Structure 1
Amino acid sequence: MMNLIAWLLRIALFAVFAVFASLNTQPVTLHYYLDQSIELPLSVALLIFFALGTVITAIFVRCRCHSNQ
């Protein structure tokens, strides 16, 4: 039963994120150093930065757990 509830919650969350992504397709320009820039849809830029934050957090947590042992 809990497995079913977990899957229903995942499906609902995916639906919310899919609707958010489809409503936010406006292009955003990201400027880098040396006058370099890239133009992406807003939802893609948010997804990239969310993934980067997740990876950086996982690296810090892993390093911290290994330093305590």
Structure 2
Amino acid sequence: MKNLTRYLGLALKLLVFLLVLGFALKNSHTVTFYSYLGYVWQAPLIVMLGLAFVIGALFGLAALLPTVFRQRREIARRPLPEEAETTMQTDLLPPHHGI
């Protein structure tokens, strides 16, 4: 079963790679990017799309950083698991009736 999932994952990765390669080959014509101050850059369309994807992913990660740092601070302020575990175990024990 483990080998089957490995082969399915490999097949899926190969399929995605072939789809992206086919997309790149079909969109290999040059496009022009006009920026501020008269800056002009020409590159294949797939390069422009790839850069847009990477820049968008980087901006998304940068937007998540404040939340990640805040959550790390909150986790650092929590008690250690050993302390929390001993208090939880004593709270969960049923009362002893001494029979």
Equivalent of 2:39 in 17, 36, 43: 36
DSSP-derived class of the 1:25 partner = coil
Equivalent of 1:18 in 21, 27, 51: 21
DSSP-derived class of the 1:53 partner = helix
Q: Which runs of 4+ in 1 moved over 3 A?
A: none
How much identity, in percent, do the aligned residues show? 22
Contiguous gaps of at least 5 residues in structure 2:
75-99
Q: Which TM-score applies when normalising by structure 2? A: 0.63
Residues 63 and 16 (structure 1 numbering): CA distance in 2 closer, same or farther, change over 3 Å?
A: same
More strand by share: 1
Q: What corresponds to 1:67 in structure 2? A: 70
**Structure with higher RCO (Cα < 8 A, 6+ apart):** 1
Q: Which TM-score applies when normalising by structure 1? A: 0.86
Larger Rg: 2
How many residue pairs align between the two structures?
A: 69
Contiguous gaps of at least 5 residues in structure 1:
none
2:64, 2:6 → 1: CA distance?
Answer: 27
Q: What amino acid sits opposite 1:63 in the alignment?
A: P
Once the two structures are TM-superposed, the CA of residue 59 in structure 1 deviates from its matched residue by 2.4
DSSP-derived class of the 2:59 partner = helix
Once the two structures are TM-superposed, the CA of residue 7 in structure 1 deviates from its matched residue by 1.5
User: How large is the RMSD of aligned CA atoms in angstroms?
Assistant: 1.3
- Whether 1:8 and 2:7 are equivalent positions in the alignment is no
Stretch of structure 1 that moved more, 24-33 or 53-62: 53-62
Residues 15 and 64 (structure 1 numbering): CA distance in 2 closer, same or farther, change over 3 Å?
A: same
